[in-house]
Amino acid sequence: MRIASPIVLMVCGILALVGLFLPWGSISMFGFTVSVSGWDTMTAWEPTLVLIGSIILLICSITALVLGIVQKARGVVIGMGITSVLAAVMVLAGPVKILIEVATDELASMSFLGVGIYLCIAAAVIAFIFGILAAAVR
């Protein structure tokens, strides 16, 4: 599990970045439907949080992977696992806020949610779990 957790964290960081560029939703105006990705709305804090969290997740996973091979660097790997958990929470916060806004009908113009927002949420949940596993390495 010492090597597997950082690899899964790296994949989750990549998936969160990919989810940022996929459609987060579709807006219907004047008979036209426009897909909007997280990258298109980068001025808002939600996609910026996903971007920063996924970059931190990638940095922590690469560091934990390299240092996980060395037996004497367990403290640093534990720190990287804890930081990965915090980065996963950052990635999760933006899309969940958007889901709450859509559920409470504050974004009435949002027709449907796209696959990108769900990919970011799934990557963040899996990264949260494997960040805890990486921090629990013995």
Of residues 87 and 77, more confidence is placed in 87
Every domain of the chain and the residues it spans? 4-135
Confidence (pTM): 0.85
Evaluate if residue 41 carries a pLDDT over 70: yes
For 85, the token pair is 């958990």
Question: Is 60 within 8 Å of 12 (Cβ atoms)?
Answer: no
Question: Is 36 within 8 Å of 117 (Cβ atoms)?
Answer: no
**Cα distance between residue 95 and residue 122, in whole Å:** 10
Evaluate if residue 125 carries a pLDDT over 80: yes
Average pLDDT over residues 45-67: 88
**Cα distance between residue 98 and residue 65, in whole Å:** 32
Q: What is the predicted pLDDT for the residue at 2?
A: 67
Looking at 3.40.120.10, 3.40.50.150, 1.20.140.150, 1.10.1040.50, the CATH number of the domain 4-135 comes to 1.20.140.150
pLDDT in tens, 91-123: 999 888 888 877 777 555 556 788 889 999 999
Q: What is the predicted pLDDT for the residue at 17?
A: 93
Beta strands in 1-138 (DSSP E): 23-29, 32-37, 110-113
**Cα distance between residue 4 and residue 132, in whole Å:** 13
Q: What is the predicted pLDDT for the residue at 119?
A: 93
Q: Name the pLDDT band for 5 (thresholds 50, 70, 90).
A: confident
**Cα distance between residue 18 and residue 85, in whole Å:** 19
